Amino acid sequence: MNISPRYNPLSSADAQTGVWSHSWIKWLILAAAVIIVGYCLPRDHASNYSYEEGRPWNYSLLTAPFDFAVRPDSATVRAAKDSIDRIFEPVYTRDASADKLLIGEVSNRIEKNPDVHLSPGERNRLISAIRRVTEGGIVNPDTYADIRAGRLRTVRMIHNNTTVSIPTTNYLSARAAYARIDSILADTRYRDAIAVINLPELLQPNVVLDTVTNARLLAERYRVATASSKVYVKGERIIDRGEVVDSEKIQALNSFEAEIMERGTTDNTSSAFPAIGRLLYLLLLFGALYLYLFFFRPDYFRKPRTVAFLMLITTAFILFALLMAATFPSGLYLVPFTMVAIIVLVFLDSRTAFFTYLTTILGAALVATFSLEFIFLQWVAGIVAVNAIRELTKRSELIRAAALVFAAYAVSFVAMEIIQSGTLAHLGVRMFGYFGINAVFISFAYIFMFVLEKIFGFTSRVTLVELSDINHPLLRELSEECPGTFQHSMAVSTLATAAANRIGAKVQLVRAGALYHDIGKIANPAFFTENQHGVNPHDALDPLQSAKIVISHISEGLKRAEKAKLPAVLRDFIVQHHGRGTARYFYTTYCNSHPGEQVDPAPFTYPGPNPTTREASILMMADAVEAASRSLSDHSPEAITALVNRIIDSQVDEGLHRDSPISFRDISEIKDTFISRLGTMFHGRIPYPERKKDAATAVTAAGATSSSSSPSSPVKGA
């Protein structure tokens, strides 16, 4: 047992090494978190300035340290290029040699092929028709499709360094040119000759796109269209404190940062220093969380699972914040950071929840446009969330917390806007939309709690509430098979819950533990006095056998709990509610029947272990006090006080609470609570007075009785 409620010295040599037994895992988790977050942090920030359009410039006068041109933004550049592409007239070249080669090859095939039955005049007519069609121009199928669709009405040809615009009305594809020739020479002899010389094979494009010239001309037009509209010379003023950052200033500042990036330096500092600074920042941030756990919550720090849970949820939300900040403007405000506080609060405690929450928002603040505003808004929202969720037992509490968080964001944002701008003129609805989406995301905390509960083996308050339902199959079986034990468990739950609430312990955990602590008695209900009805089977047994049966309800309860898949925190109550105590009734009986003999107490001792938490200690005290109170014949405050003090003091003297972080102050308050509650449970009732009857009333009553019992009575007749 400890004097201080904050510090829990470990009671054995093995336990004393427990803090460090898995220390390498905790430090590995710390290193991994720092490296992962540090690696994912954006590295393309050219300056340390954070600004947003429509908001005041929060820094001192900024002047140009070198000459630079203001570059148009990407949207302007894209629009200009799209406009140029729509009106640009492509450049084509005419391949005159292709016409000569085509006519020569046609003439050669006609002369040498004996299957061509045309006279010299007819041959000349065929060649002349092919020449006229090809001189009009043959283009590739894609170009011809653009011409037919009206997208390419003219093209440009370069002749003697002069660009001439040519209409495309006479241009044909190879297929269209063949069809045109076939329509001109409709005689069968001409068609046979065309087929023999395989004219479609010879028809190839003679008007082709000049890709090199087109690329050069487009680049020149792009350069002219996207040329800088303003040039800042060295020393020229860019923006001063208090000026509203408009679209023109945004372009200038973006161009300034882009110029710094291209120059590859920021004030001649090494590029390694920002990365080192980020890693050092993260190491200090996560290290502070470790120090908090080590000094203020050593019970959490001893468990690598708990440390991993806190670091995982912190790292995951920081990485999600980085993603949202890079995807959406003001995307950080879409991240439901308060979910971190709510989830940690449900599994652990409010102080750890808020410290973890602060660690998360300070990590995400590295990419916030306005870090001070971001931290202030999240700080207020976190306080509201932690105080809005006390005992998360209903979904309505989560909805109420989401509404309060939205209100906290909105009011804080309005306050910051008034401070920075001095007016509400620039107050837009976009941020309130972000806050609303953020609040909606908080409702998904139920899903995250379920997933984390399964991954890390935690038991949330929601689960404890569900397990405390007396319609649970195990509790229903207890009430049917062991009604006396069930009533005892309910009474113990009432006492333990009141005590836990008094000293600030986990109320819902104590309530659930009290309901399940005696489920092992289902195996042998008749061997426990609360379930007996006049016959005591222990009368026919040796005290050793009786002690063995009674003590076995611990192991039997553990088996049933494991079969029902009860959480480990509830199984701990089953094995710890008697600790290493003694089945004193049977031990004393055995000692009395063996006078002068050295009796070994081991067969009469419960397997333990002793309580290791305040909640388990409360249950041990409540269980013993409630059971003993049933044997009291005198229920006066003095008798109840003496009983409570005697039982709890004897447990303390035996060292049953030595491994528990409970303090003397806690024990004193627990005693007061038990005395008050037992006094209420055993309070005397006022006797109801009998009504006095006068003689006339008695005669009337006698006559009424006689009438009702006569054969002619309507009741009797019915």
Residue 475 within a domain: yes
Residue 253 falls inside a structural domain: no
456, 475, 503 - which closes a domain? 456
- Whether 188 shows a pLDDT value over 50: the answer reads yes
Whether 446 and 485 map to the same domain: the answer is no
Regarding whether 560 and 471 lie in a shared domain, the answer is: yes
Question: Read out DSSP for 195-222?
Answer: HHHTHHHH----EEE-HHHHHHHHHHHH
Cα–Cα distance, 578 to 624 (Å, whole number):
9
Tokens of 678: 């037992």
Does 187 map to a domain?
yes
Q: 77 in the Ramachandran plot: left (φ > 0), alpha (ψ -120 to 50) or beta? A: alpha
The whole domain housing 380 covers 19-43+272-456
> Which tokens hold the place of 581?
């105590």
Same domain flag for 409 and 485:
no
Same domain, 491 and 428: no
Least confident piece of the model among 289-303, 413-427, 529-543: 413-427
Per-residue model confidence as pLDDT tens digits over 65-74? 777 777 777 7
pLDDT at 244: 76
Q: Tell me, what's the pLDDT at 157?
A: 85
Are 604 and 495 in the same domain?
Answer: yes
Phi and psi at 638, nearest 5°, equal: -65, -45
Q: Which of 43-52, 54-63, 374-383 has the highest mean pLDDT?
A: 374-383
Pick from 192, 203, 238: nearest CA to 98: 203
Residue 343 has pLDDT above 60, yes or no: yes
Residues facing 63 on adjacent strands: 237
- Residue 533 sits in the same domain as residue 441: no
Maximum average pLDDT range among 145-154, 491-500, 706-715: 491-500
- Is the pLDDT confidence value at 348 over 80? yes
Statement: residue 229 has pLDDT above 70: no
Question: 448 and 466: one domain?
Answer: no
Q: 399 with 466, same domain?
A: no
Residue 4 has pLDDT above 50, yes or no: no
Same domain, 318 and 390: yes
Question: Same domain, yes or no, for 475 and 426?
Answer: no
Amino acid type, 112: K
Closest CA to 324 of 316, 332, 312: 332
Q: What is the pLDDT of residue 111?
A: 81
Supply the CATH number for residue 598's domain: 1.10.3210
Instruction: From 209, 241, 258, give the residue that closes a domain.
Output: 209
- Model confidence at 499, pLDDT cuts 50, 70, 90, reads very high
Cα four-point dihedral sign 584, 589, 592, 596: negative
Same domain, 450 and 488: no
How much is the pTM?
Answer: 0.60
Residue 115 within any structural domain of the chain:
yes
Report which of residues 568 and 532 the model is more confident about: 568
> Among residues of the chain, what percentage have pLDDT more than 70?
85
13-35 residue pLDDT tens: 333 334 334 567 888 989 999 99
Count up the domains in the chain and report the number. 3
| Residue at 498 is within a domain | yes
Give the pairing type, strands 237-239 and 207-209.
unpaired
| 548 shares a domain with 656 | yes
- Establish if 230 belongs to a structural domain: no
The identity of residue 499, as a single letter, is A
- Alpha carbon distance 401, 421 (integer Å): 30
372 in any annotated domain: yes
Alpha-helix residue ranges (DSSP H) falling in 136-271:
141-149, 174-184, 188-197, 199-202, 211-225, 247-263
**Is pLDDT larger for residue 328 or for residue 216?**
216
CA atoms within 13 A on the CB side of 229: 10
The 3-state DSSP class for residue 621 equals helix
Q: Kindly tell me if the per-residue pLDDT of 684 is higher than 80.
A: no
pLDDT band of 419, cuts 50, 70, 90: confident
Quick: pLDDT tens for 237-265: 878 766 777 777 877 777 777 777 766 65
Answer with the one of 425, 456, 487 that is the final residue of a domain.
456
What is the structure's pLDDT at 15? 38
The rounded mean pLDDT for the chain is 81
Residue 324 or residue 328, greater confidence? 324
**pLDDT for 59:** 67
Secondary structure letter of residue 636 according to DSSP: S
In a domain, 303, yes or no: yes
